[in-house]
């Protein structure tokens, strides 16, 4: 005989909340506030669950209506409730509210202000753990806001506290944010050091797949910055395989980085397979079209096509620091290769002719040629009076000449020693 399922006891708060959802589609803000204030002293399990749902629904309504001051008011006006429930529950509710605000478009400045207000509230309420969590989120937001000095100062003060507490989970996340900040500052050695510290802290705890994907993504970025594009591709692939199953938007970014790694390592023939594979088909869109255009331009070695592709997809390419930086590097590399190809048959050539062949201004070509001469990319001089580039034949070092110089130098030292001894013998006699 199957026992009947236990019947829930009647509860006025739960019944009123469910009725509000059935009759009014969840209720408006005033109805939810009235319901929330109807039983301020109740902190039993049922009341806590209902109040949590009311608070998150209110936060969503306020966020949709851009009433962000009212979102902060939810915390300040319910101090008694938050003081009575466990701190872990309070932290969960606050993080949920911040996540809801983050879903609103163009809300970065609002998120920063809200986080700062929450931090002040946490300090007044002496909620240290929650304050640290919100400060870690604020550091990430400041990084997105390009306030690198502010983000770095916040990260340093937070790490000072966390190292005393030995909170491995928070240390992993904050060191990862520190690595991102140093990368944005183009301080690659310090970024690597911070990432190593993050991985060290992560070794002693369970790391959720998304956090592991973030670590792999950052590792790929740093390897890409150092020119190790093969290893970078492997890390980006690991990160992509973690992001993709959960439909995380960062999967597309990792796919773009994978294509970038192939382009930078001159493995252009492998890019079409990436773009037509089962993973890429799911993410077909403007981002992958932009990378496909860059690949075609790089394959043709055409500066005009490259510049046109970047201009056509500027919003998708220039907003990403890693892609933007390496596209500039790729352009300079293609520029040098095209110049070397043009000047190779000549011993002397007009700079204007080179500029016309490459379809760029004379001043730009002249500046690049002088830089290449200084970098020993080829031997030559710029005769600016005549507007000519004079190219010298590449001369290899004469080994016998350098060996002869060494012999003469050594003989000179021997003669100097013998003369010194002779002088001392003369003085002795």
Q: What is the largest CA-CA distance in the chain?
A: 129
Least confident segment among 138-142, 155-159, 194-198, 344-348: 344-348
Q: Rounded mean pLDDT of 154-177?
A: 91
Q: Rounded mean pLDDT of 311-317?
A: 86
What's the pLDDT band for 51 if we cut at 50, 70, 90? Answer: confident
Taken in order of first residue, the domains within the chain and their CATH numbers are 13-145 (1.25.40.570), 208-344 (1.25.40.570), 345-423 (1.10.10.10)
pLDDT of residue 3: 44
pLDDT of residue 5: 40
Indicate if the pLDDT at residue 424 is higher than 80: yes
Q: Which pTM was predicted?
A: 0.78
Sheet hosting strand 348-350, strand order edge to edge: 348-350, 388-391, 380-383
Average pLDDT of the chain, as a whole number: 84
pLDDT of residue 369: 86
Q: What tokens appear for 143 in the block?
A: 């990084």
């Amino acid at each position: 005989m199957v026992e009947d399922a236990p019947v829930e006891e009647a509860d006025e708060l739960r019944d009123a909340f469910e009725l509000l959802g059935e009759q009014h589609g969840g209720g408006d803000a005033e109805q939810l506030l009235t319901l929330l204030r109807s039983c301020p002293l109740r902190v039993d399990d049922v009341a806590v669950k209902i109040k949590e749902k009311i608070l998150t629904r209110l936060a969503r309504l306020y966020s949709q209506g851009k009433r962000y001051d009212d979102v902060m008011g939810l915390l300040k006006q319910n101090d008694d409730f938050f003081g009575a429930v466990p701190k872990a529950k309070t932290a969960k509710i606050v993080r949920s509210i911040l996540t809801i605000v983050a879903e609103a478009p163009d809300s970065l400045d609002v998120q920063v202000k809200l986080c700062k207000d929450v931090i002040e509230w946490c300090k007044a309420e002496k909620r240290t753990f929650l304050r640290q969590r919100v400060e870690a989120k604020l550091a990430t937001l400041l990084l997105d806001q390009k306030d690198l000095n502010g983000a770095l100062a916040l990260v340093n003060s937070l790490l000072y506290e966390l190292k005393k507490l030995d909170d491995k989970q928070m240390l992993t996340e904050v060191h990862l944010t520190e690595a991102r900040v140093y990368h944005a500052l183009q301080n690659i050695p310090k970024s690597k050091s911070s990432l190593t510290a993050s991985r060290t802290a992560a070794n002693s705890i369970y790391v959720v797949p998304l956090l592991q994907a973030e670590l792999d993504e950052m590792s790929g970025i740093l390897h890409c910055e150092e020119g190790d594009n093969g290893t970078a591709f492997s890390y980006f692939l690991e990160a992509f395989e973690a992001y993709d199953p959960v439909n995380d938007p960062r999967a597309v970014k990792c796919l773009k980085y994978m294509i970038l790694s192939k382009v930078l390592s001159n493995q252009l023939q492998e890019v079409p397979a990436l773009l037509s594979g089962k993973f890429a088909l799911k993410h077909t869109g403007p981002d992958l079209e932009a990378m496909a255009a860059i690949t075609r331009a790089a394959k043709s070695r055409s500066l005009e096509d490259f510049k046109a592709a970047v201009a056509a997809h500027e919003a998708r390419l220039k907003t990403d620091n890693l892609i933007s930086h390496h596209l500039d590097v790729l352009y300079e590399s293609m520029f040098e290769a095209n110049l070397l190809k043009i000047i190779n048959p000549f011993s002397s050539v007009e700079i204007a002719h080179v500029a016309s062949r490459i379809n760029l201004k004379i001043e730009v070509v002249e500046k690049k040629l002088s830089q290449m001469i200084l970098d020993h990319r080829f031997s030559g001089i710029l005769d600016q009076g005549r507007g000519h580039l004079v190219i010298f034949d590449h001369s290899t070092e004469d080994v016998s000449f350098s060996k002869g110089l060494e012999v003469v130098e050594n003989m000179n030292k021997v003669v100097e020693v013998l003369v010194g001894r002779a002088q001392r013998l003369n003085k002795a006699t």
